[in-house]
Structure 1
């Protein structure tokens, strides 16, 4: 009898649907937003990967058509690069020599000056001086490379001709010096950030042992920040190897197989610009040579970055 009354009371009662609490609803909405943001970030990362894969695919596929006509061994060993001549030669060595020579000159300028500036800003400069110098360095890094090219052609090379009589109007020395000036902001800024990341306790320990500021900077801060400093150098090298407009304007467009910086020469990137201006018909073997040259430049940059990665890892483990 009691069970029957209970059933009747249950049948007469009105049930409301279960409702998730406001706290749980907000938590579920937050997780949904996080998943959407994660998907967007993953898509952005995927775009960069797909872009890199697409660039590699274009270079490799177009270079394959080029190498079906020009043997790879001839491409790597021939000392003549004359795609515009009737008797065309496609030896990458002259362009490679010009690229390496201008890059070495630029690094000789950028690495000592950039490192010195980084040491001064990190260890010696007062905060007011540092805050005033940093914007000028960033402004120097934002100047278009074509402006640097004409600066080298109009200002730097004439000054070099006064010091070195007989210097040609187009040469790798002037182009390399201005390239080094253009790279200084990259080297100094990254190197200074690496030095400032060194804990202050390491400096204080050096001072407690009687070390001067210079001794602390050279013997404590630089070894501790060496992996970051090497990263700055590697970025500078990559920037120098891939530079286009400075060498196109100031180094000349003559593919000479020489490592003499006082001679005119042509770099890989400058040749690509020359062909892109329409000197060779689209679809010809000469036009396809720019993809083989671009693939060579990419491989060279990749090898530099891989070597720099191993060097950074070694010094990071050491310190």
Structure 2
């Protein structure tokens, strides 16, 4: 008896459902296979549950992606607002933007932009302009929302990946293959007992057939794939350069922040030393007056 195809463990939920529906419909309608209907019916809820689970995971990922886009838009709005109100060339502008143009800072979706703008509120709160000082809590809230959205998106994507690679879908495909193999064996026995002819048992399973591509068709596909690979490679190189630039900017921003804190501490130390010297002088004068 000819064998049947084993579905890959990575087969999509849609592919698994298509194969199951094909098999189940034939088992349910053939008079020789009514004894197997209960077994097929018992497995169907798992197919439907996996479809529902994946649909919910996809919806969660889409929702998280929307949150990321809205959070990124709000941060971009703050970039434009601050740039419009900060004095160009000032220490504050250098602290916030470094050598990045606003368009460069806004280019990534969250990512490096979020890392940089998380440090903005503590700088804005010290701004001389009230409009910038008042915007500090706005940036803080938007940065927090961005961080939460990024984490939500990361978590949602990971859950979907787990579902497809190590979770429900993989286990479903494994058990589905077990069911298919078991039914194929039973159908083979029915085929032999009733002399139903070669291929009868296999007819209950969807046989995927693909026409072989011609050489020109293969060349066309290879050309398209190569062009897409080149485009993706260039896009990746641009993103790598952009992330490197943002990473350098983050490092510079952190260095400037530490330098500003050090300067403030040194100034405070000098002021305290001056106050101490003045107090000591006053005490010394008081002692001298008492002795005289």
TM-score over 0.5 for the pair:
no
Q: Who wins on radius of gyration, i.e. which is larger?
A: 2
Could you say which structure has the greater relative contact order, defined with CA pairs below 8 angstroms and 6 or more residues apart?
A: 2
TM-score normalised per structure 1: 0.27
TM-score, normalised to structure 2, is 0.29
